[in-house]
Amino acid sequence: MRLNPRRALDSPLVCGTLGVVILLCVAEAAGRVGIVPTVQFPLASTILVEAAKLAADPSFLADIATTFTGWALGLLVTVLIAVPLGLLLGSVPPIERALRPLIEFLRPIPSVALIPLAAWVIVDPTQMKVTMIVYASMWPVLINTVYGLRDVDPVAKETLRTFGFGPLSVLLRVSLPSTAPFIATGVRVAAAIALILTISTELLAGGSGGMGSFIILAESSPAGVTLTVAATFWAGMLGLVTNGAFVLAERRAFRWHTAKTGAAQ
Amino acid sequence: MSGLRRRMRISALLLTATALLAAGCGGGDSDSSANAGGIEKADLVVGMLPLPEVAPIQIAIDKGYFKAEGLNVKIQIIQGGATAMADLTKGSLQVLHSNYVSAVTVAAKNLAKVKVVGEAYTAKPNNFAIMVKKGSPIAKVADLKGKKVGVNTRANVAELSVSALLKTHGLKPGDVNFVEQPFPQMAGALESGLIEAAFLPEPFHQTAATQNGAVLLSDAFTGPTADFPIAGYLVTEQFAKDNPKTVAAFQRALIKGAELAISNSAEVKAALGKYTKIDPATADLMVLGGFSTSVNETRLQRVADLMLEFGYIPQKFEVKQMMLTPAAS
Amino acid sequence: MIRKFVTAVLRLWIVPVVLVGWEVVTRNWAHPFFPPPTTILPHMRDLWFDGPASRLWLNETALANFPPSLGRLLTGWVLSGVIGVTLGLAIGRSPLLFRFVDPIIQFGRALPPVALLPMFMAIFSIGAKMQISMIAFGIVWPVLFNAADGGRTVDPLHLETARVFRLSRAQRLLRVILPSALPKIFAGLRLSLSLALILMVIAELFSTNGLGYQLRLAERVFDPPGMWGAVILLGVLGYLFNLIFVLAERRVLAWHSSARHRT
């Protein structure tokens, strides 16, 4: 019944593309009119052309692969550390109370400050990357896990306990599944932070390949700003794609989650 | 059923993670044993910044000079600073390209014991420049009083050279404000007024002049800092002691590379295309000419003395401690 | 009141434990880049806290560097709060707008702020304006997402009631939508506050004063106690900010829930 253009506006793809195009036009205009001097920052079209060139450069593609691998490994280790720790803190409040000052102290310390110090003890560049990713991106996962545990239905827990289940099985059968959506959100937030950290660590620590190393190389050239921004463009695309994947995965997991709880009732 | 499958998938994931971690942690020592030439260690990783001054290393690799000495040299592009020095002391780099100001700072503060095994670059006229914006009221060095001067790293060779320059014009380092800015952003920062003068190496000062009309205020290394030694190659004291023949072989190949770099600028430009992002057209603008084949102790002592004068190090430092005493062979 | 204060202090028992452990480990290790706290703390005192008691012991260096840093941080945080809440609520209430800007937001969120520095320099040129906008850009995301989420999940019954009482758009926003999204907005603001400290350090790497500048300088002159001093100060500031924020949040939300009960 609806008119065609109206239906087009219902599609996230059409609207999203339109939004991006409008933004690019505004950015291009800002450069051409002189609001953003091109000496300092390249035109949007210059960036896109450079980014397209990079996409055809095998060494840059290898850099993207390195960054992606480092990111995935770092995120995996983050989850493996932060979720169990969050479960521990969430289920044993005295430990949480004791550690909270430490957590609040450590959280705002930037990894920019830690890399030059950590460099003296961590030998391997991959290990360095993973350490920095874990340090910066574990907090959302940790905090969401703790908060999620507080939200667990006490009746369900009590029911299982009266059936003679131990605390560990209560944790695994009730608490963990019902905390899962919270953890998933935490992981999605952590994924974005982890990507930034992967590139920053490659940039600041050097020697590990990846998009950060590309930026170090770019600084050797007077055209460095354009190259850096073009590389950053692909960093943004990587973020867009990985976030999309997480949203899809979450949606599927939740469907399974709701279906399962529905069946159990 | 599905629960079991899921659990299996999770344990498979865990296994992969552990394997990846193990791969990341292990694999440090891959020393090949001494070869026929009597070299203690054949595999060397050289950490270097992507600057024109390290072209002799790339040339020595491409021309097989290292190979002829029985060395297998790999390049690792680094970001510099404390992180790179840490990599040298931990042994993930065997040789580090570093400017002398960092090297002397580390040695004088007893943070690491290093030896200079070769020189990379000595400042020649037009290699490094102090540039100002087109139409800037700053016409002479003395006009820099109270202005913001862009340097790539604070408290390092750029700031030291500007300080020495200010002194010869009757100013003190405290009379200007130093601002840290990466070289590619410097021309833009001049334009916006974030900085009012910029310390720029080649090819940045040439492109700033040709593309943005920036004006030369002064050569950066002139008068008391003429022929200033800029950077060298470092190893740890322990490495020099344990591998005298390796170090000697490295030096021979490096000198050959430097000699070719001095005599043939086309080789330098070809090398630049391999480890930097400097395009050939930009490379053609460069003067270069500062490649060096020997470490001059007297000149290096001038660096340390200047650093003492401007408070970079707390007490007098004898650079003799950093010199390599040739091993009796 | 006193008992409350005592229990609050007792909760920090872990701090001396960690400090002693840290001291023991670093003393035995004797690594030049990992000095013990008994070296770092006097260094911090000499650097920042040997001024007169009337000025809270802050000396000239501290007064030259702390206020600009804190000013940029708080301004950036407030700015990100205003932008994040406005844009977030708009996105939360309008699915059409959400479809338009979602890719841009996801894209922007993944950009490393360090790499965007030249852009901020180009748009805002000099000094504080550039740093503040960079801080705001880096930390706006948690507020934005939480506000959008809060805006989306307003109780339909409340909206219905607002319509029945013929509240104007502005009234609906201020009396129904904003209050219901408030707890989530606060959660976002709290996250972005600790992020703000991190972004402040990054934004100040290229400046002439501030804590980030001092940290970078300590790194450049190979001064490990100075680097550690800055790290500890950042941690303490983060802890205090969080504490103040949680207290303020409790007040506002308590008042807000009681106000809602009254109506």
Please count the structural domains in chain C. 1
What average pLDDT score do residues C23-40 get? 86
Question: Which pLDDT score, from 0 to 100, does residue C86 have?
Answer: 92
Query: How many degrees, rounded to 5, is the angle at CA A186 between CA A180 and CA A190?
Result: 140
CA distance B267 to B167: 38
Rounded to the nearest angstrom, the minimum Cα separation between A94 and chain B is 30
**Burial (CB count <10 Å: 0-12, 13-18, 19+), residue B240:** buried
Rounded to the nearest angstrom, the minimum Cα separation between B230 and chain A is 17
What average pLDDT score do residues A169-183 get? 81
pLDDT at C262 over 60: no
Residue A254 has phi, psi (to 5 degrees) of -70, -35
Which of A41-55, A97-111, A148-162, B199-213 has the weakest average pLDDT?
Answer: A148-162
Question: Using 50, 70 and 90 to split pLDDT, how confident is the model at C257?
Answer: low
Q: DSSP string of B246-265? A: HHHHHHHHHHHHHHHHHH-H
Nearest to residue A249, comparing CAs of A162, A204, A156, A183? A183
CA distance B79 to A128: 15
**Residue C193 belongs to some domain of the structure:** yes
CA distance C85 to C143: 6
pLDDT at A39 over 80: no
Same domain, A241 and A192: yes
Q: Which residues of A touch C103 (CB under 8 A)?
A: 16-17, 19-20, 240
Question: Using 50, 70 and 90 to split pLDDT, how confident is the model at A172?
Answer: confident
Same domain, A34 and A96: no
Q: What is the interface pTM, i.e. ipTM, of the complex?
A: 0.80
More confident residue, C262 or C10: C10
**Amino acid of residue A227:** L
**Residue C241 belongs to some domain of the structure:** yes
Q: Do B194 and C127 touch (CB under 8 A)?
A: yes
**Residue C1 belongs to some domain of the structure:** no
- Which residue has tokens 């490094």? B128
**Residue C106 belongs to some domain of the structure:** yes
Question: Which pLDDT score, from 0 to 100, does residue C121 have?
Answer: 73
pLDDT at C11 over 50: yes
pLDDT at B29 over 80: no
Rounded to the nearest angstrom, the minimum Cα separation between C130 and chain B is 10
Nearest to residue C200, comparing CAs of C49, C45, C66, C59? C66
pLDDT at C132 over 80: yes
| Tokens found for residue B192 | 């916006």
Question: Using 50, 70 and 90 to split pLDDT, how confident is the model at B326?
Answer: low
Mutation test of the interface with chain C: which of B109, B151, B176, choosing the one with the most C Cβ atoms within 10 A? B109
**pTM, to two decimals:** 0.82
pLDDT at B9 over 70: no
Please count the structural domains in chain A. 2
Q: Please report how many Cα atoms fall inside a 13 Å half-sphere around the Cα of residue B267, on the Cβ side.
A: 22
Q: What is the bridge-based pairing of β-strands B95-99 and B229-236?
A: antiparallel
CA distance A128 to A88: 26
For a pLDDT cut of 90, what percent of chain A falls above it?
A: 17
pLDDT at B26 over 50: no
pLDDT at C119 over 80: no
CA distance A238 to A198: 12
**Amino acid of residue B327:** A
Cis-peptide into B203, omega within 30 deg: yes
CA distance B302 to C6: 60
Chain A, 72 to 101: residues with Cβ < 8 Å from chain B are 73, 76-77, 80
Q: DSSP string of B109-141? A: TTS--EEEEEEEEE--TTSEEEEE-TT-S--SG
What average pLDDT score do residues A109-137 get? 86
**Residue C17 belongs to some domain of the structure:** no
- Residue B318 DSSP label: -
Q: Which residues of A touch B76 (CB under 8 A)?
A: 206-207
When the pLDDT of each residue in chain B is averaged and rounded to a whole number, the result is 83
pLDDT at A55 over 70: yes
Question: Using 50, 70 and 90 to split pLDDT, how confident is the model at C55?
Answer: confident
Nearest to A39 among B91, B188, B276 (CB): B188
- Which residue has tokens 């580390």? B106
Same domain, A136 and A168: yes
Is the CB of residue A245 less than 8 Å away from at least one CB of chain C?
Answer: no
Chain B residue with CA closest to C223: the answer is: B109
Mutation test of the interface with chain B: which of A39, A199, A213, choosing the one with the most B Cβ atoms within 10 A? A39
pLDDT at B18 over 60: no
Nearest to residue B96, comparing CAs of B107, B108, B72, B80? B80
Task: Identify the sign of the CA torsion A104, A110, A116, A119.
Answer: positive
| Tokens found for residue A193 | 């932070």
- List, in sequence order, the alpha helices (H) in C49-176: 60-93, 95-109, 113-124, 127-152, 156-164, 169-172
Cα–Cα distances (Å) from A219 to A125, A208, A212, B154, C148, in that order, read: 20, 16, 11, 17, 38
More confident residue, B36 or B258: B258
What average pLDDT score do residues C139-152 get? 86
pLDDT at A69 over 70: yes
**Burial (CB count <10 Å: 0-12, 13-18, 19+), residue A228:** buried
Same domain, A46 and A34: no
Question: Which pLDDT score, from 0 to 100, does residue B12 have?
Answer: 47
Same domain, A82 and A166: yes
Question: Using 50, 70 and 90 to split pLDDT, how confident is the model at A259?
Answer: very low
What average pLDDT score do residues B280-307 get? 87
CA distance B271 to B283: 10
**Residue C9 belongs to some domain of the structure:** no
Q: Which residues of C touch A9 (CB under 8 A)?
A: 96, 99
When the pLDDT of each residue in chain C is averaged and rounded to a whole number, the result is 83
Contact A119, B86 (CB under 8 A): yes
For a pLDDT cut of 70, what percent of chain B falls above it?
A: 88
pLDDT tens-digit profile of C66-107?
A: 888 899 999 999 999 999 999 999 988 888 888 888 888 888
Question: Using 50, 70 and 90 to split pLDDT, how confident is the model at A1?
Answer: very low
Residue A198 sits in a domain of what CATH number?
1.10.3720.10
CA distance B119 to B300: 10
More confident residue, B192 or C84: C84
What average pLDDT score do residues A98-103 get? 87
Cα–Cα distances (Å) from A217 to A132, A198, A221, C153, in that order, read: 22, 17, 8, 47
More confident residue, C55 or A247: A247
Question: Using 50, 70 and 90 to split pLDDT, how confident is the model at C126?
Answer: low
| Tokens found for residue B42 | 């054949």
pLDDT at C181 over 80: yes
Question: Which pLDDT score, from 0 to 100, does residue B278 have?
Answer: 87
Contact B44, B72 (CB under 8 A): yes
Number of Cβ pairs < 8 A linking chain A and chain B: 122
Question: Using 50, 70 and 90 to split pLDDT, how confident is the model at A6?
Answer: low
Range of the domain at A9: 1-41
Range of the domain at C105: 35-262
pLDDT tens-digit profile of C202-243?
A: 888 777 788 888 888 888 888 888 889 999 999 999 889 988
- Domains in chain B: ranges and CATH: 43-123+228-322 (3.40.190.10), 128-225 (3.40.190.10)
Same domain, A10 and A138: no
Task: Identify the sign of the CA torsion A153, A155, A160, A165.
Answer: positive
Same domain, A29 and A52: no
**Residue C28 belongs to some domain of the structure:** no
pLDDT at B16 over 60: no
Phi-psi region of A123 (alpha: psi -120 to 50; beta: other; left: phi over 0): alpha
**Residue C11 belongs to some domain of the structure:** no
More confident residue, A216 or C74: C74
Number of Cβ pairs < 8 A linking chain A and chain C: 162
More confident residue, A155 or B1: A155
Is the CB of residue A103 less than 8 Å away from at least one CB of chain C?
Answer: no
Is the CB of residue A221 less than 8 Å away from at least one CB of chain B?
Answer: yes
| Tokens found for residue C257 | 């829930």
Q: What is the bridge-based pairing of β-strands B215-219 and B128-132?
A: antiparallel
Helix A176-205 vs helix A58-91: angle between axes, to the nearest 10 degrees? 140
Q: Do A199 and C112 touch (CB under 8 A)?
A: yes
Q: Which residues of C touch B181 (CB under 8 A)?
A: 206
Same domain, A193 and A260: yes
Same domain, A228 and A158: yes
pLDDT at A247 over 50: yes
Cα–Cα distances (Å) from A63 to A83, A136, A217, B319, in that order, read: 30, 22, 12, 40
pLDDT at B13 over 50: no
Number of Cβ pairs < 8 A linking chain B and chain C: 56
Question: Which pLDDT score, from 0 to 100, does residue A52 have?
Answer: 92
Same domain, A32 and A73: no
Question: Using 50, 70 and 90 to split pLDDT, how confident is the model at C125?
Answer: low
Contact B283, B67 (CB under 8 A): no
Task: Identify the sign of the CA torsion A169, A170, A171, A172.
Answer: positive
Same domain, A15 and A60: no
The answer for residues whose C-beta is within 8 angstroms of residue C31's C-beta and 6 or more apart is A120, A121
Residue B23 has phi, psi (to 5 degrees) of -65, -35
Helix A224-264 vs helix C113-124: angle between axes, to the nearest 10 degrees? 120
Is the CB of residue A229 less than 8 Å away from at least one CB of chain C?
Answer: yes
Q: Which residues of B touch C219 (CB under 8 A)?
A: 81-82
Q: Which residues of C touch B105 (CB under 8 A)?
A: 221-222
pLDDT at C260 over 60: no
Is the CB of residue A119 less than 8 Å away from at least one CB of chain B?
Answer: yes
Same domain, A35 and A110: no
Question: Which pLDDT score, from 0 to 100, does residue C12 have?
Answer: 77
